[in-house]
Amino acid sequence: MSGLRVVHAHGDRITITEPVTGVELLSYVYAAEAAWESPKPYIHPLRTLAGDVVT
């Protein structure tokens, strides 16, 4: 069993994926495409291990 997969796209977001099922658990976005879109960092989508979207 291995740990979670973390990918950091510098200047954009951090994505965490469960390696066995390939489910993207969350994406932490800290740089929105447009300033008016989201002035603060946010997490979307947020999923359960089964892949159900919580946010």
pLDDT in tens, 10-54: 999 999 999 999 999 999 998 867 767 667 889 999 999 999 999
- Say what the pTM is: 0.81
- DSSP secondary structure code for residue 47 in this structure: B
Please name the residues in contact with 16: beta carbons below 8 A apart, sequence gap of 6 or more. Answer: 4, 5, 6, 24, 25, 26, 27, 28
**Does the pLDDT at position 2 exceed 80?**
no
Which own/partner pairs from 22-26 qualify as long-range (CB within 8 Å, at least 24 positions apart)? 23/47, 23/49, 23/50, 23/51, 25/49
Other Cβ atoms less than 10 A from the Cβ of 27: the count is: 20
Q: What is the pLDDT of residue 39?
A: 73
Q: What is the pLDDT of residue 14?
A: 97
